[in-house]
Copies of this chain bind each other. A is one copy, B any other.
């Protein structure tokens, strides 16, 4: 890819991210983005079909970055429980806060977190399989996966809205406290 293209793309992403920190997605215009990024109108539309497309690509890039890093970290997991992954995700979210502050502010966070949850489903599934958890007798596996990634995302939303007062480690321990009791209530056939 051409240097100019990379520069333009980065400038647009950066401008967009800054704008998202100020106002909600729906109130941002393409004009504001290109003014802030210092690129021409034609240039913007050469890179992105629409504003929606820009948002989608930004979300995908960020989520891929965060989740893939968490995926890697599960490789090291020495038979340990999944808390490491969740803590890892939280730390990553906080570290990248400055980059993604916009997406994590007000209304717009919903959009990002929806992408995030979709990626999380895969991560949670692999965690469950990795740990060889017997699936709960009464609860369908897809319900369980949705419950775990769904409540993780809701926790992140709550965390952000509360201005991230808790540390990732605190949150991780709370989260484990509400999730592990369900996982340990497994089929009694092998624990008796």
Chain A residues near B (Cβ < 8 Å) = 26, 110, 114, 117, 136, 138-140, 142-144, 146-147, 150-151, 153-155, 157-158, 173-174, 177-178, 181-182, 185
Contact = CB atoms under 8 A, between A and B. Distances in A.
A185 B138 CA distance: 20
Given A151-B151, A154-B153, A158-B146, A177 B110 contact: no
Nearest to A185: B181
9 contacts: A110-B110, A138-B173, A139-B174, A139-B178, A143-B158, A147-B155, A177-B182, A181-B181, A181-B185
A83 to B, nearest CB: 14
Among A136, A143, A157, A182, the most chain B Cβ lie within 10 Å of the Cβ of A143
Given A110-B114, A177-B182, A147 B139 contact: no
